[in-house]
Structure formats: structure tokens, C-alpha cells
């Protein structure tokens, strides 16, 4: 009688589970949302996003369930873990099994191969740089980012602040712009100013989020943040490439706060 190893038994059970899953349903879900970061063919759109093609289905399934059940904890609300948790909580166990089986059925990515193209609806943005923002916007908040040794200054236009103070939904035309700076360093550590924030060294870029009528209509429901769009600008105010799926996923859990991490600070403006 042939001896069956634990590894062989696990592989057989994994294959059986994959066969029971609905690969076509998994592909549909990948085309709706998962592929925005991981690629519909399982080859990711960026170097910092893992490929899923040919990964073991049990591994993918277990990871998604860990995100969904909160077993994988986010170190910060803007971490990739928080983004994945926001997506996984919207998936049923059947969805998870189907997605896992679909990606496992794909051929593995070639070593050093090209990245997947981004979904057109998340690679483009409607947000334009707000010229002369310092004349009309209000600087309302500052945050230190220790991991990147950066400090960010937050500005909002009057419509955004008025809605936040009134406890109303953000109107079309709401706009938040962030100036991103490297922090001044001493012995490799950021220098703190008397206000407790890092002392600014050099400007790096701008990030922005804004709303417009119908801007969210092209975004999959699992990612959509109302009508918010996101953008990154270079110092010369030109658009830099962006995958809005990452921004949308990060802000998705904040639906009850108008998708804003700084709603409290906006509402407290005098």
C-alpha cells in the first residue's frame, strides 16, 4: 500500500477545495476589485504588492480570512493591512474561496516580468491642482510620519470646513491638499520643533483628495469613497502616477466620517 505523506494529503485537499470553488465567479471579483492592485492575471501593478498567480489557494484564503476577522492587525490606519481588511470584510467566505481558487489556477509570474497595467478607472483622476490655494484654503492640521521621517501640513477649502463644522456630508467641490516635507535630521533622527512637530527640511510633493459630481461612478462599489478622487502632484504641480485603488481602500473604512482621517480636526476649526 502506498504511503500517503501529510504534504501530499494537504495538497490533495487543497486541489479538491479549488475544484469545488467557482473559478469564473472568482475571476469576476478579480476584475471588479482585486485586480486593481494584484492584477487580473495575478501579476501585481507595483513592486510593493504581492503577486497572487499560482499561489496556493489555502494560503490566499487563509490570509483573506485573517484580514476579514481582524487576526492580522494594522500598525497604522494607512497600512496595506488596513486596506486589505477594508476589502476582505466585504467578501463572503464563498467569495474568498472563489478568488483564492481563481488566482491559484493561473500560471506563475515570470521572474523579472512586466507588471500588470492599472485599471483605467483608478489610474486616472479628476483632481486638478488648486492654484493659489494658500490664499483661500485654511491650514488646519499637521502630522508627523516617523516611519518615513516626514511631516505633512493639511489645507482645506472653505466648503470642506463648513460641511465638517455643520456635521453635513461633504459637498461637490470639497478639497484637501497636503504639503509633504522631509524632516530635518540630527544623527538620523527627526528634529522636533517647540510645537511637537518635525522641523521642515525640504518639500517633497503634494497629495490631494477632492469631490466632484459623479466622480465616484466609475469606481467599483467595494472601493468607492462616495465621489472622492485622489491625486499626487510633483513640486511643479504636475500629476504623478497614482493607483487610486490604494487610496480608496485605505479610506474605505471611514465611510461614517466622510472618508476623512482628519474630520475631527476640520470640525474643530474656529
pTM for the full predicted model:
0.85
Number of residues assigned to the chain: 270
Please give the angle made by the CA atoms of 175, 179 and 182, to the nearest 5 degrees.
160
Question: β-pairing, 138-145 with 175-183?
Answer: unpaired
pLDDT tens, residue by residue, 133-167: 999 999 999 999 999 999 999 999 999 999 999 99
Same domain, 33 and 130: no
Sequence-ordered list of residues with C-beta below 8 angstroms from that of 263, at least 6 positions apart, any chain: 164, 254, 257
Centre a 10 Å sphere on the Cβ of residue 266 and count the other Cβ atoms it contains. Answer: 24
Same domain, 129 and 75: no
Query: What mean pLDDT do residues 252-263 have?
Result: 96
Of 54, 85, 115, the position where a domain reaches its end is 115
Contact status, residue 160 vs residue 174, Cβ threshold 8 Å: yes
How far is 91 from 76, CA to CA, in rounded Å?
A: 22
Same domain, 104 and 22: yes
Question: How far from 54 is each of 13, 67, 105, 235, CA to CA, in Å?
Answer: 16, 20, 6, 41
User: For position 14, what pLDDT does the model report?
Assistant: 46
Same domain, 208 and 153: yes
User: For position 10, what pLDDT does the model report?
Assistant: 44
Q: Is residue 1 part of a domain?
A: no
Same domain, 104 and 134: no
Of 87, 115, 143, the position where a domain reaches its end is 115
pLDDT at 15 over 50: no
User: For position 111, what pLDDT does the model report?
Assistant: 72
Query: What mean pLDDT do residues 215-242 have?
Result: 96
Sequence-ordered list of residues with C-beta below 8 angstroms from that of 186, at least 6 positions apart, any chain: none
User: For position 17, what pLDDT does the model report?
Assistant: 47
State which residues form the domain around 55.
Answer: 6-115
How far is 41 from 192, CA to CA, in rounded Å?
A: 46
Query: What mean pLDDT do residues 71-96 have?
Result: 87
Contact status, residue 210 vs residue 133, Cβ threshold 8 Å: no
Closest CA to 202 of 164, 151, 251: 151
pLDDT tens, residue by residue, 176-191: 999 999 999 999 999 9
Three-state DSSP string of 54-65: CCCHHHHHHHHH
Same domain, 27 and 130: no
How far is 134 from 155, CA to CA, in rounded Å?
A: 8
- Scan for cell 483628495, then name that residue: 209
Amino acid at each position: 500500500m502506498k504511503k500517503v505523506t501529510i504534504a501530499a494529503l494537504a495538497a490533495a485537499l487543497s486541489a479538491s477545495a479549488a475544484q469545488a470553488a467557482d473559478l469564473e465567479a472568482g475571476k469576476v471579483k478579480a476584475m471588479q476589485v482585486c485586480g486593481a492592485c494584484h492584477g487580473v492575471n495575478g501579476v501585481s501593478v507595483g513592486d510593493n504588492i504581492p503577486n497572487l498567480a499560482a499561489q496556493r489557494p489555502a494560503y490566499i484564503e487563509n490570509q483573506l480570512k485573517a484580514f476579514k476577522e481582524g487576526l492580522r492587525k494594522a500598525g497604522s490606519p494607512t497600512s496595506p493591512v488596513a486596506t486589505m481588511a477594508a476589502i476582505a470584510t466585504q467578501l463572503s467566505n464563498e467569495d474568498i474561496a472563489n478568488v483564492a481558487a481563481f488566482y491559484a489556477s493561473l500560471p506563475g509570474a515570470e521572474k523579472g516580468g512586466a507588471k500588470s497595467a492599472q485599471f483605467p478607472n483608478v489610474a486616472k483622476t479628476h483632481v486638478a491642482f488648486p492654484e493659489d490655494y494658500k490664499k483661500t484654503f485654511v491650514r488646519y492640521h499637521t502630522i508627523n510620519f516617523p516611519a518615513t521621517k516626514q511631516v505633512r501640513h493639511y489645507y482645506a477649502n472653505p466648503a470642506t470646513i463648513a460641511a465638517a463644522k455643520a456635521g453635513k456630508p461633504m459637498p461637490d467641490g470639497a478639497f484637501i491638499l497636503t504639503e509633504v516635507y522631509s524632516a530635518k535630521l540630527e544623527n538620523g533622527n527627526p528634529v522636533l520643533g517647540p510645537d511637537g512637530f518635525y522641523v521642515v527640511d525640504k518639500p517633497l510633493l503634494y497629495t490631494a483628495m477632492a469631490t466632484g459630481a459623479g466622480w465616484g461612478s466609475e469606481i467599483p462599489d467595494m472601493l468607492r469613497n462616495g465621489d472622492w478622487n485622489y491625486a499626487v502632484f510633483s513640486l511643479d504641480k504636475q500629476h504623478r502616477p497614482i493607483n487610486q485603488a490604494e487610496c480608496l481602500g485605505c479610506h474605505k473604512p471611514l465611510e461614517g466620517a466622510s472618508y476623512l482621517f482628519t474630520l475631527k480636526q476640520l470640525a474643530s476649526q474656529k
